[in-house]
Structures are given as C-alpha cells and as structure tokens.
Amino acid sequence: MATLRDVAREAGVSVATASRAINGLGNVTAPTKAAVMAAVKKLNFVPHSGARSLTRRKTDTVGVILPDLFGEFFSEIIRGIDLVAHESGMHLLLGNMHGSTHETAAAIAAMRGRVDGLLVMPPDLKPELLADYLDPALPTVLLNYDAGSLDLPFVAVDNYRGAYAMTEALLARGMRQIVHIAGPKHNRDARDRQRGFVDAMAKIAKISNPAILPGDFSEESGAQAGRLLVQGQLPADAVFAANDQMAVGLMAELANAGKSVPGDVLVAGFDDIPLARHLNPSLTTMQVKIDRLGSTAMMMLLRILRGETLGGASATILTPTLVARGTTGGAAIPATVAAAGALPT
Amino acid sequence: MATLRDVAREAGVSVATASRAINGLGNVTAPTKAAVMAAVKKLNFVPHSGARSLTRRKTDTVGVILPDLFGEFFSEIIRGIDLVAHESGMHLLLGNMHGSTHETAAAIAAMRGRVDGLLVMPPDLKPELLADYLDPALPTVLLNYDAGSLDLPFVAVDNYRGAYAMTEALLARGMRQIVHIAGPKHNRDARDRQRGFVDAMAKIAKISNPAILPGDFSEESGAQAGRLLVQGQLPADAVFAANDQMAVGLMAELANAGKSVPGDVLVAGFDDIPLARHLNPSLTTMQVKIDRLGSTAMMMLLRILRGETLGGASATILTPTLVARGTTGGAAIPATVAAAGALPT
DNA sequence: TTCGCCTGTGTAACCGGTTACGTTGTTAAC
DNA sequence: GTTAACAACGTAACCGGTTACACAGGCGAA
C-alpha cells in the first residue's frame, strides 16, 4: 500500500507539500497540486486514517456500547445514531458488552484512542461502577439511563409517565381489574413502568396493591402470564404488559384458551414494535420512537464535540405516545390522556 | 490522559520495559513488573489503541459496509457478525453507504488503516466498480453477493433454489394459477427469486409465461398487487410474493376484499421475518437465517486473517428452508421439497 | 581466568500521517 | 538599491505506542 512518502517521491515534492495538496490546504501552486494528485492516482494512494487520527487527535468516530444487539430495539437505536452520525461524516465503532459487567469495562477501555466520544447504554450497571470505567476526558452521552448522581448528559424514555398514561386510559375505559405483567426485576425501564402503573391505579382509581405478574420481557414469559390468567386464578378485565413482546405471548395464549380480545379482556403493551399493528387484533401500546433515542443522543454528543455547552439540555426525556388499536376496542382515547402522551414535536 | 512514557517515568523504567510489562512479554523481573503495574494503576493508564494498531499493523477491527441499516434484515446480519467477532475479540466499524454508489467508495476508503478486513454488502453495484473501490491488499468477504468474475470470497443465499422449492410446493398442492409478486428490477435477490419461480413453473408444470406482478419489496407494493388481484383482472389460486413484507401488504388487501386465505387463495412469502408467524393466518415462507449470513462471512474473514487459505470454501451458499404455515393450509409439504430446502445444519 | 551465552533493561527507529518552523525566491514599498 | 513582506516549499519533530538492536552484568564451562 502506498504511503504519503511514496506519493511525495513520485511527485518530486516533500511530504509536507504532498499532505497540503491532498488536504486542500493553501500555499500550494496549481501545477504542484496537479503533480501530487497525479501521483495519488497513479499509486492509488488512500490516506491511512489510523495514522491521521493519531496526529489530528481526532478520529471522526464515536463508540457505541450496547448491552446486546438482539432485536429491533437496538437496531433502531443504531439506525437513529447512524442517521445523525452520517450527516456529520462520523463513523460508528460498535462495542457489545454482552450483558457482562466485566466486558463493559473492557469494551470501554478498548475504545481509547479510537473514538472521539462515547454513546453508552448500561441498563443494569450501578452509576458508581460506570463512573469508574468511564474516562472523564472522553465526551460521553448515556442512552436510556438516568445518570443521577453522575452529571453525565443522557437521553431516556419517560417510562413512568408512559405507563401512567396507559393505565389512565384503561381506567378511563371503565376497567378496574387491571393486571400488569412486569419486566425483569433489575431492569430500570421495567421498574419505572411498574411504578407508573401502580401509581396510576392508586391515584386515579384508589386501588392499592393491584395485581402484578412476573415477566422478563420475553414472549414466553407473556405466554406464561397468559396461562395463569386463563386458569382463572386471577380475575382481569384488562392486562397491561410492560412490553409488546410479552403482550404478543399473552395474546397467543388467550386465543388458545378461546378468550376474546377485546371482548373478554383488553390488552395493552409498551414500545410499539412493528409487529404490534399487524397482530389480530392490533395491539394498543405506548409508542416509543426508539430511533429518536439514538439520534438525539448522537446530536447531543456532536454538540459536545463541537465545544458547545449543553447547559440545561444535558438531559433529554422522550415521552412515549399512546396508540390506541384493536386490543382496547380501537376507539378514541380521552383527549387529556392523548395530550399527556404526546411527543413535544 | 496518561501515556506510556508517563507510566515509564513514574515507574522509573524505560518505555520499552513498561511496554513489555504491560503486555506480559517475557524478560521482565517480577519487581519491575509490579512497579510498572503500580504506575499504571496510579495514573490509570489505558493504552491508546490507535497508536498501538499503527505499529502492530493490526487493528482488531473489521469494517462492515452495508447499503442501509433499516429493518431487521441488517440488524440480524450485524448481530451474526458480532457474535463471531466478539468471540475473537474483534471490533466492528460500521459503514453505511446509504444507497449511493459514490458513498460506497467513500465508505471503503474511510476504512483504510482502521480495519484488518472488510465485510461488504453491495447489493446493486457492478462487479467492475466494486473491484475498483476495493483494496486488493485488504481481506474482504462479500455479503449476499456473488462476485462472479472477481474471485472474492462471498456468502450468499440461494434465492433461486428457494423460490424454486416454494413454487414446487405450491404446485404440489395442486395450484396452477400461481401469481408471483416480484421485487425491484435491479435487485439481484429479486431477480433470482423470480427466475426460480419461472423455471419451476416451466419445468414442473410446463407452464410458460406465468403471471408476474411488479413490486419493490415494500408492504405497499404488496397491497397494490393485492388490489389488482381482487379487481379480478387476474385469476389466481396462489400468490407467491418475493418477500414477506409484500405478502403482508397483500394479505391485508385480500382481507379487506373479503377473500379468505387459504380458502380462496394460498399465499407464500420469502425471508421468514418474525412477523410472518404472527400473522393471521400465519405466513408460509422460505426461512432465511439472516444472522447466519453475517456469522458465516465473519468466520470466513477470520480464517483469511489467520492466514488460512479458504480453498474451495471461498464461497458459501446458504439454502433457505421452507416453513409451511397457515396461508397454505399449514399441513405438511412433500418430503422431497422439504429435503431440498434443508440447511446443511 | 577467559570466553560465551543468557537475562533484564535501555536507546532509538519506526508505523504513516500532520504541522511548526525555517528557508528560499519573488515582489512591493521605501 | 535595500528591505520587508509574503508565498511556496522543505526539514524535522511529533502523535503514542512497539520492537530491533545494543549493552551491561551474571553465571557456567573450558
């Protein structure tokens, strides 16, 4: 592979001149520049970005560290990030912590010297640990994680308000025996959603200790919850699953048992995965614009990299929108609720 | 940020010794090593991967260049790649050509010096152009692309055989008026699938010039085809869509028109997107294990990087499997067809 | 004792670019 | 006719690591 010195020699100039010509800096006469360009073509020289970033102290790359790559949640995030990154000519270096805390540290360390900034999504990592791993000199934006004590910028989804709004909507339909299928115990999103549900039940309908079935965000765990319901151990006129995936499993099980949705029981989910509107009946759910999560975080990172101070905008909370579909009868949702769930845009 | 020289100074040794101690090479006494390690901890030194890869001439990174990041097809590929890459401690640098030929060149060039190898998926790029852009010195594996004249290793899906098998299965059910909804004209996958369909109709049922409706892989184009069918302009006892997405649009339109599937007409798709089995009725389709596409390519690349010669294995063709579901009546498919579509494991 | 070899460590070149600074030659200003 | 200013270009240091080679000291063998 040709190097800059090869090009310089071929063009009969010094490396400095060659570099300047190639990068379009001033102080190079047209004929000299032409000679250099000819040499570039002839040797088909392509600049070595690794070497370049070493001196420029700039890599034009951001590191993206996700807990996993499974499912469309992550792919949508990546797409959102890429959308913005691409516009700014940035590249994406993917790091996958594969669920392990130890690997998180390794993934972050491996980014040193290869990225200008970091986008990290550490769903179940304690803030103190995270602070330990992170390089304070490296601009970092957290994804779907409220840094709390750490004063790192982050963008998150308002799971609490989303769950609250959905519960409110179900209550507005006259439902009282609403069962929640929870997500993984240690998962922040899951906990916030559960809190939103519990609070809405208490505040709006004065129902304390509403029924909550365990789940882990998987389709199968939704199906399990469905079997519990069907066996009649739990009276329910509506089921609010902490994510769509579980709602899918639940509905399959209800159908098996001959239960009609929304005739016998209403069903609601959370996330609005593409599958949701294709189900039969289509699934009422809280729409989270996942790609927005990624693109917003990337925009924040870019601003930091440009030296702007984020100021008050150092945290962005995305509010999910309620999408009413077939599983709750499909009709309109009270205007107040719809407004509460509306995205600022 | 601390550099190696800082560490060396702190530990009272030379950079060479510090480097050796950190990298666990021999020829360092235990006390010296301990001193270096203490300095590393104290300054919390993290090696600068950029600088390191410059001398090692190894980046432990592979570049992945995809035409787009939209939808789960690509996310599944990335997941497959990551699975294998992660095991080997490799990182992924994402490049997105965003559909443009010009950007493809830029994306490939930008990879120079930052990756040890390339995984490229150039769905509608002419081989000659591709050869132009690619650096012959950089190990490259093509995704879903038969390099043909170029002797680059690649992994692809046997779209032809898949479509042939599906058509055969429909014919075996006694269908004769089978309509194919084609994909984009310039798309290789689409063309191969169409060829498979046409050939199967001709060879097995002696039907030449079977009905083919235009489409572009989008749900809407499937719906459009559905409207054409419903208006009775085309008699059909089965419809074979070139991908699942179009089958989804088609089925929605058929349902609108009160047509029963599979009562009035059978429907089949291609890809087996997760949505397929959740449709009502569930969609019969050719299952393509997309993540396998990525992981296989990555494994091939790793072997090249290790210096192994691929020999005859420089091309891998993944054969899709027929999954019979509700839209074709759900029952068994003739054994021969199932076998023809079976993956080698 | 002398030579050879091995071990632990240091010096400096190198990877492939960028860029501060110095040099040369030209032109404008006095 | 000097000098200053400036444009075009070259030299070499530098980014932060790795590593070939040199070197000093210790030890066993002859």
A49 CB less than 7 Å from any atom of strand D: no
Mean pLDDT for the stretch of residues A37-61? 95
A58 versus A332: the higher-pLDDT residue is A58
Mean pLDDT across chain B: 89
Can you state the angle between helices A71-87 and B71-87, rounded to 10 degrees?
100
Mean pLDDT for the stretch of residues A196-204? 98
Chain position carrying tokens 């179009």 = B246
What confidence score (pLDDT) does residue A191 get?
94
> In angstroms, rounded to a whole number, what is the distance separating the alpha carbons of residues A39 and A30?
14
Residue A167, φ and ψ in degrees, nearest 5: -60, -45
pLDDT digits (tens, 9 = 90+) for B228-253: 999 877 889 999 999 999 999 999 99
What confidence score (pLDDT) does residue A332 get?
40
Q: Pick from B113, B275, B279: which is nearest to A50 by CB?
A: B113
Mutation target for B interface from A6, A45, A69, A244: give the one with most B CBs within 10 A.
A69
CB contact under 8 A, B278 and A274: no
What confidence score (pLDDT) does residue B313 get?
65
A260 contact residues in B (CB cutoff 8 A): none
> In angstroms, rounded to a whole number, what is the distance separating the alpha carbons of residues A301 and A82?
13
What confidence score (pLDDT) does residue B147 get?
67
Listed in sequence order, the residues at least 6 apart from B58 whose beta carbon sits closer than 8 Å to its beta carbon are: B116
pLDDT digits (tens, 9 = 90+) for A163-176: 999 999 999 999 99
Mean pLDDT for the stretch of residues A267-274? 92
> In angstroms, rounded to a whole number, what is the distance separating the alpha carbons of residues A30 and A159?
60
Query: What is the per-residue DSSP string for A151-181?
Result: ---EEEE-HHHHHHHHHHHHHHTT---EEEE
Do A156 and A318 meet the contact criterion of CB atoms below 8 Å apart? yes
Domains of chain B in sequence order:
4-47 (1.10.260.40), 57-157+291-318 (3.40.50.2300), 159-289+320-340 (3.40.50.2300)
Q: Pick from B71, B114, B279: which is nearest to A49 by CB?
A: B114
A253 CA to C30 C1' in angstroms comes to 98
- Maximum alpha-carbon separation in chain A: 87
| Statement: residue A25 has pLDDT above 90 | no
Show the tokens assigned to B262.
């599979």
| Statement: residue A49 has pLDDT above 80 | yes
* pLDDT band with cut points at 50, 70 and 90 for residue A337: very low
> In angstroms, rounded to a whole number, what is the distance separating the alpha carbons of residues A306 and A314?
15
| Statement: residue A345 has pLDDT above 60 | no
User: Percent of chain B beyond pLDDT 90?
Assistant: 70
- Maximum alpha-carbon separation in chain B: 87
CB contact under 8 A, A54 and B52: no
> In angstroms, rounded to a whole number, what is the distance separating the alpha carbons of residues A105 and A120?
11
| Statement: residue A16 has pLDDT above 60 | yes
What confidence score (pLDDT) does residue A226 get?
95
CB contact under 8 A, B46 and A112: yes
Mean pLDDT for the stretch of residues B273-293? 90
